[in-house]
Structure 1
């Protein structure tokens, strides 16, 4: 589990610890009101149905009723930082989604998000829980139910409320913005066309002064460059040399070997070696 996921779980658990028991108390208070109403009207068999009718009116609570309930929740939970805690929960959820598959190039992603206040969040949590508890209203039955079973029913009621926290948080998340910011493919960038490949090797020319000095110090070697035709007297052949020289005057002609790699290294140490492949 990643650090982001751990932070998300811890923040959500802390929020649930503060809110779930308080909301369960609120639903039991609604049940008590339904029970008192039925007892006054001598309709003891209509307690659960009356409770269900009252639960369906939770989305339409007046501002005064909602303000009183939120004040009670915050007072009993003794949490003066509920607003900051909610902010941390929403941030942890969004970062958790971003850690799944972020395809962008920037290290920072800006997400426009209108965070709900504490009153709106608690009211939404009440509405989601009311829809679930309406279906399992029998869990609130106490008449003729053993105390052990009543304790189990109370735990199950809190579990129903606890499971709605994820749904409520997700209902406020800006899914469209998250999808576009985190999961969309970044725009393709036009890459410059590579230069045409060349099979030749180009050597940079040395400066004139260095080149003249090198020519003076370089041992002379045979050149195989064809020259334009001249008069026959100016031509030189190896046969003529052999015929004109006397046996005792024949000298061995030494052709110094030219080390091409050493020459390349010398030029590379100078102005540089440019290779275009």
Structure 2
């Protein structure tokens, strides 16, 4: 968690110098390492506490390696400490004040706060429900966060090549080649790692969320790069702040904060988020074309 801001800044610097291919390679390597490390550690059949500790250490080690890799690329690319002198003019022109810079990372804070709140709501219902939601959130984070790079890199490439329906469709197809098989990976991990019967009701929702990621999270990241962080801020705060959080609070108050009910809120919010992103992206594209 502490490394995320530094790693993302390094990734942003690499995007400024059109090194999307290297960023993409690092993202794919991260996902593969995470997928491989989980069954290997569980296969050791350690006590539960040691298994959880080993999983955490493995994820931390992967995050550190990715950060060091990005940092090394930045240093090799810059070959100087004066970053401003090397940035392309079009990159400088896209920094339109403090609000945009703050909104650029707002989605991470919103999602982190929202899912922490969902875990809290489930925990008020029972320890089992809280554990299920915490495990499910951890599983989804393994894949959803790296997948954002498809949107970041795709947006950068479309800025260079020009935006049209064909290019957007091609980017979505490329994303689907990864998210489609990951739906099965998510299903297996959820059933294998969450030792509670209710996960059988949650797993189908996870599969739908993963399959539709190109139209939700990836397109959200793409729109932030193509247009501005402000472009999707309304959708983000409306869905998760004005709709999702109050509904989750009502579940806690009424005592209906079971794992299935709580994750149903997250699932519905994701579908609403998808619809809002697509509607906003279509409007932005039409405004740019007119």
Normalised TM-score (structure 2): 0.28
**Larger helix share, 1 or 2:** 2
Normalised TM-score (structure 1): 0.29
